C-alpha cells in the first residue's frame, strides 16, 4: 500500500507559486494543495492547472476557519468553483450542513471530487464527538471527510488514530492533530487508514503548526519500513 502525501503550497505571489510548484514537481508528492487564500494577487486557476499534472486540491480558507481569505463569502465560493471548472481534481469546503450537499453536488457535477473539512483549533474532541461530526460529513456525500484537531496531550494522537482506523472503513478520511504534540498523528495517520497526510515543501513554509516536510515524513516512513 502507498501512503500518500499532499504537499501544501501557501504561495503569496504568482511568482512564488510557480517556484513552489516547480519544487513540488521535483519532490513528487501524490497531491498538491493550493492555498488560494494565501495569494495576495488575483488567483488564476486555469494558469495554475497548466503548471503540473499532479492532482491539485483547491483550498480557499476563510479567516474564521484559520485561513487568510477576508472577502465576501460569495466570492470565496466562486473562486473554488472556478478552480473546479478549470480542472482541479479536488475542492476543499468547510462543513456547513445547511448547504454542503448542494455545493458538493455542484462540484461533483463538474467531474471534481470534494473534501469536506472540520477544524478544531483548540482541542481534540472525544472519540464519540468526532464520530458525530463524521456522520454529518457522510450526509453531505463528499468524497473525502477531513477532521483536524489540536493536540493538547500525546493521548490525543491515540484518539485521532483510533478514529481514522474506524472511520476509514466507511469513507476516505483525512484526520490528524495539529501542534507539536500532534506530529506523530500526522506521520502515522496514513498507516492507520487515512487517505493522505499533509506536508510542507521546506522548513519555514508550513501552513499549520506541527507540519513536517515531505522529506521528513518519508524518512520516518522509511525508518518504520513502510512506503
Q: Could you give all domains of the chain from N- to C-terminal order, each with its CATH number?
A: 5-112+181-224 (3.20.20.70)
pTM to 2 decimal places: 0.94
Q: Which of 50, 113, 119, 141 is catalytic?
A: 119
pLDDT digits (tens, 9 = 90+) for 2-59: 679 999 999 999 999 999 999 999 999 999 999 999 997 777 899 999 999 999 999 9
Which CA distances in Å does 49 have to 8, 57, 226? 15, 10, 31
Q: What is the C-alpha separation between 149 and 158, in angstroms, rounded? A: 12
What tens digit of pLDDT does each residue of 164-206 get? 999 999 999 999 999 999 999 999 999 999 999 999 998 887 8
Question: Which of 146, 180, 221, 227 is labelled catalytic?
Answer: 146
Instruction: Let me know if 119 is a catalytic residue.
Output: yes
Dig out the grid coordinates for 178 from the structure. 495539529
Gap between the Cα atoms of 152 and 50, Å rounded: 41
pLDDT in tens, 131-164: 999 999 999 999 999 999 999 999 999 999 999 9
Amino acid at each position: 500500500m502507498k501512503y500518500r502525501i499532499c504537499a501544501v503550497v501557501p504561495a503569496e505571489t504568482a511568482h512564488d507559486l510557480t517556484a513552489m510548484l516547480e519544487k513540488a514537481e521535483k519532490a513528487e508528492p501524490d497531491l498538491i494543495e493550493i492555498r488560494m487564500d494565501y495569494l495576495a494577487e488575483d488567483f488564476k486557476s486555469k494558469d495554475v492547472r497548466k503548471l503540473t499534472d499532479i492532482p491539485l486540491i483547491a483550498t480557499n480558507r476563510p479567516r474564521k476557519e484559520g485561513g487568510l481569505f477576508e472577502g465576501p463569502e460569495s466570492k470565496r465560493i466562486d473562486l473554488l468553483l472556478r478552480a473546479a471548472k478549470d480542472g482541479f481534481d479536488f475542492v476543499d469546503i468547510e462543513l456547513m450542513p445547511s448547504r454542503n450537499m448542494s455545493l458538493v453536488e455542484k462540484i461533483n457535477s463538474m467531474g471534481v471530487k470534494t473534501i469536506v473539512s472540520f477544524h478544531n483549533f483548540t482541542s481534540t474532541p472525544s472519540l464519540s464527538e468526532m464520530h458525530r461530526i463524521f456522520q454529518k460529513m457522510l450526509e453531505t456525500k463528499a468524497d473525502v471527510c477531513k477532521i483536524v484537531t489540536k493536540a493538547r496531550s500525546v493521548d490525543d494522537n491515540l484518539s485521532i488514530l483510533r478514529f481514522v482506523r474506524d472511520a476509514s472503513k466507511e469513507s476516505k478520511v483525512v484526520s490528524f492533530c495539529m501542534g507539536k504534540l500532534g506530529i506523530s498523528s500526522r506521520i502515522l495517520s496514513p498507516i492507520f487508514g487515512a487517505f493522505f497526510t499533509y506536508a510542507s515543501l521546506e522548513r519555514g513554509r508550513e501552513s499549520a503548526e506541527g507540519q513536517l516536510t515531505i522529506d521528513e515524513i518519508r524518512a520516518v516512513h522509511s525508518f518504520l519500513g513502510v512506503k
